[in-house]
Amino acid sequence: MLNNALLSIRQEVEYSNTIIDMLLLNTADKPLSNVQTDKLNASEVVQEAARRFPFNNQKERSLVSVEVRKDFSFDAPRLLLVHVLFNLIKNSLYFVQKSGKGEINVYTDRRGTNGYIVVHDTGAGISASVLPHIFERFYTTTPTSQSAGIGLSFCKLVMDSIGARIDCDSREGEYTTFTLTFPNVTDEKPAPHFGQEPRTL
């Protein structure tokens, strides 16, 4: 019980630190101007995000599946990309649980020189009136205890900074799909990643 309590405390501290870091990045004059990138493998990034995500329980974990349709390599900051996926998974979990239905599929794909990481859920969906605003800084339709309105703007900031793109397609009551598009990807495999994950962004 003590170990579980300590783990929960650590996860909450890490999550709080991430929120603070995202807030600082969103309000900086020149955010991510000199970010250091790594050679990443798409399959490893999505698997790491699913493995490290702070699920509240096994039921939440069971809602998320990971699929590698086609793999690819690209240059991006590892920790920032993992936290982009954290944000997308967190949003999907909220709307799946809110609707009382659905599941979440995180998968990689590739067409030509473009690589894709997709987070697709079959939860509550997003209304047509809200969809154009979801990447705006501090915009949120969820209770303030659930969202500060910085998660998706942070995702867009990260993707823009590496010359990539994030798009959202959704139909209210049916599904939401976030697509991360990486141009000029390769088949080159990155070196194995060792060492402890940094605590913050």
Model confidence over 29-52: pLDDT tens digits?
555 556 678 899 999 999 999 998
Is the CB of residue 121 less than 8 Å from the CB of residue 176? yes
**Residue 194 pLDDT > 50, yes or no?**
no
What would the pLDDT profile of 54-86 be if each residue is shown by its tens digit?
A: 899 999 999 999 999 999 999 998 888 998 999
Of 20 and 141, more confident: 141
30 CB burial (10 A radius; 0-12, 13-18, 19+): exposed
Q: How far apart are CA 93 and CA 103, in angstroms?
A: 8
- The two tokens of residue 195 are 């060492």
Domains located in the chain, CATH noted: 2-182 (3.30.565.10)
For position 197, what pLDDT does the model report?
A: 44
**Residue 113 pLDDT > 60, yes or no?**
yes
pTM: 0.79
